[in-house]
Amino acid sequence: MSRIPAALRQLLLRLHFYAGILIAPFLLVSALTGLAYALSYPLEDYLYQDLKTVDPGGEPLTLADQVAAVSAAHPDWTVTAVRPPAEAGDSTGVLVDDGAVRESGAVAIVYVDPYTGEVLGDSTTYGSSQAGPVREWISTLHRSLHLGEPGRLYSELAASWLWVVALGGLVLWIARKRRNGGFWRPKPEGRGRGRTLAWHGPVGLWLVIVLLFLSVTGLTWSRYAGENVSQLREALDWTTPSLTVAEGGSDAHAEHQHSGSSGSSVFAVTLLDGVYAAALDAGMSGPVQIALPSGSGSEYLVTGQQRSLPLQQDQVVVDTASGAPEVTEELRFADWPVMAQATNVAIALHMGLLFGLANQILLAAAMIALVCIIVWGYRMWWQRRPRGALVGRPYPRGGLRRLPWPLIAVVVAVAAGVGWFFPLLGISLAVFVIADVAVGLWKRAERPPADGDDEPSVTRRTALATATLAAAVGAGVGKALGSGSHDDGEAGHEHEASAVEPFFGERQAGIATPAQAHALFAAFDLAATDLASGEALDAAAVAANLEALLRDWSATAAALAAGEAPPKAAVDGPDQFDAEAVAAGLDPARLTVTFGIGPAAFAKAGLEAARPSKLAELPEFDGDKLNPAWSGGDLLLQICGDDQQVVSGAFLELRKRAVGLGTLLWVQQGFSSAPSGGTPRNLMGFKDGSANPEAGGALFDERVWAVDSEPSWFEGGTYQVFRKIRMRLPDWSALSAEDQNLTFGRDRDSGAPLSGGGEFDHPDFEVLDASGLPAVPADAHVAVVHDAAMVRRGFNYDYGFLTQGDVSSDAADDGHLDGHMHAEHPYDAGLLFVSFQADPQVFIDAQEKMAAGDRLTEFITAEGSGVYAVPPGASDGGFVGEGLFRS
């Protein structure tokens, strides 16, 4: 061989070796779970045949009658879509919203005998592949090991490396010299590693096309590389087209329907048969799904559900506004862009749908073969071990430095491009290179090369080439860290939706929810006068406005948290700015909206009898310098999310709905950055929230939820305290690290109490330091407030240098209020303190202790304050605070 191919082969051997040793475990898990997924199709057909198949007999009932049978059996479930039977022996599937939120996004489905109307039972389904519970569970295992978003990284790492390992192995097998054939089929001879390789190579050769296909299509569902694939598809117009229907608003009868205002009406169900007939007349055939309109809408979306050959992915919109069903829009699979068609076919093939059982058998066989290749690879590693060693040695280094500079430049350019497009591959390859260089340097430092040693010393050329390659493949690091989560819209290989925190539930979100990166707090006062007439409102009118506002806010927040378009606001017009555009195209980013009601709101609305007795305005504590423009409020919105744009968009949507019902009093914005699995730090550099109990635990529940509340509507709610606390950071930064630690009573870096132990250990106030004094001073912050039964959920803020005291308020004309600190400390940064507790007296007691003797008060000043009753969560279709108006 010439020098260049030999050097390339050595480089490929080393890369193939490291990938096989370190990435093969991920490939093995992916292969085993992929095998289970391929076998889940016949298994699921067998397990659920009593639900999906019936004995044909007579004329089938109308679809409306079949849906009515489901509604009678499950009156509290919302009917959302219907899957008419495609064959005479198939049952009818009625998709419903049962209020459950599932990991994969699957929805409930009820099966009906189309001939008798008997409800056969219910299950779950997801995607156009109509996966049931077994396949849904195995699919999630294959995709993320049921570990959520972090688990998706394993499958992306496997898919990113699969094509590299397959192509590298192919090149090495083609370039290998062999005397007795054995290229196309296994020809094992002799013993040891050569015999194992005789199986490993040919099987990999026959499998390489399948592995490349699975790698490419699998990456479309990945998080980081998948985002690049999605962008490429959009740029080349390869995206899958689809039709949309107009959403119906709520109507006067919405509350009398089991499905709520967002469900379909009884009248919409009665038109199902006519809609189905119109779709069949328009050429729809095979299995279809009919999505019912919501509310007062009149448009039905009929979608072809067949993913096997011939694919039937047509869509039509049937409108009933004129009284008779009429097809108004059509989208045929034949009219899709060619690459969109190819992508859809490829995905169906990857999922085992395109050729039915034959497809599934092919995938299962491929996964078994991949498992064998991986096992043979590890066996060859073991067989390559030196005498007396437990494991084999890697192939020798030095391939890269023996390449000429032009070829090194090509390798670096390719590595950089691959590292950018496949970020996890780039990151892991960078780690391989850096670790390999470090090991090489360490070994050479241990044994300096002797005269005549075949392995040359580290040259400038070697170091430069290796460092350049490491930097190039590390391009994936920045790409991955700067990338948002990606979710391809293709159904079937049931991937997670973008991060969503459910709005509806027993408790409001944003309390036990893991803290997000951004927060916005907005306080409103209820309107005292009518917007149109200017006349004063009586208590009943204020209460009606409060109820309307909470109802509208809840519906809006629920839609935004789910990543859906919110219902139109009363002030919206066709030519007015639409706040939806602010966050258009963005993921929900774990958006939560939490509502609180201030003490004064109950009196204004004539609801004093329903006010929780522990809810009273907070006093102004010693050391406070409260600005009225930043304090109080009848209502508090806490809007949190991992994307500032999403948070701002949600605020704009919610604020415009307060027009005529309430007035914006003040706004504060904060941020929080926590290391993975760690505690966030405040702007003083100390960990904030180390004493919080684990969310969902008994201690958390005891501290937070007002379970023994005297008004029944508030049981399960909590009390929220908000404080804007400015920090004297210039003075604080002048302290030594020791003085800072003594002020908090904790070690700044570790968060551990100065008495010893770990961050989450309780401080021991009996422990003495080397000088014989208490290790945790009695006036240290942790000593003063360590027993406060509350849960903190604060956010940092940094507004910079102020030119006006009330930059975050619409209320005051002049922020330079008497006694305020702006002239002395014009830089405004600190903490937006938030605590939740079952009794606000807990906070008051802790604050009074701090005012009496806490070192920390020398460096902080409260400039805003408020306390609010946070009602329990809303049931699906209801609104937060609904019980207040029913009590």
Angle among Cα 772, 777, 778 to the nearest 5 degrees reads 120
Tally DSSP H helices, then E strands, for the chain.
24, 17
Question: DSSP label at 493?
Answer: S
d(Cα 583, Cα 328) in Å, to the nearest integer? 30
d(Cα 533, Cα 511) in Å, to the nearest integer? 39
Residue pair 702/836 in contact by the 8 Å Cβ criterion = no
Output Rg (C-alpha) for the chain, integer angstroms. 33
10 Å CB burial of residue 845 (0-12, 13-18, 19+) is middle
**Is the bond preceding residue 150 a cis peptide, omega within 30 degrees?**
no
Nearest to 666 by CA among 544, 832, 554, 505: 832
Nearest to 49 by CA among 132, 138, 136, 139: 132
Tokens, residue 564:
């859906």
d(Cα 196, Cα 202) in Å, to the nearest integer? 11
Note the maximum CA span of the chain.
Answer: 101
Is 113 a known active-site residue?
A: no
Nearest to 183 by CA among 193, 173, 192, 191: 173
Residue 125 has a CB neighbour count (10 Å cut-off) of 22
What stretches of 384-448 show up as alpha helix (H) in DSSP?
Answer: 405-421, 423-446
DSSP string, 75-141: TTSEEEEEE--SSTTBPEEEEEE-S---TT--EEEEEE-TTT--EEEEEEEBTTTTB-HHHHHHHHH
Residue pair 492/131 in contact by the 8 Å Cβ criterion = yes
d(Cα 887, Cα 877) in Å, to the nearest integer? 19
Of the candidates 688, 839, 854, 876, the residue annotated as catalytic is: 688
User: In a 3-state reduction of DSSP, which class is residue 667?
Assistant: strand
Residues linked to residue 681 through DSSP beta bridges, in sequence order = 687
The residues assigned a catalytic role are 688
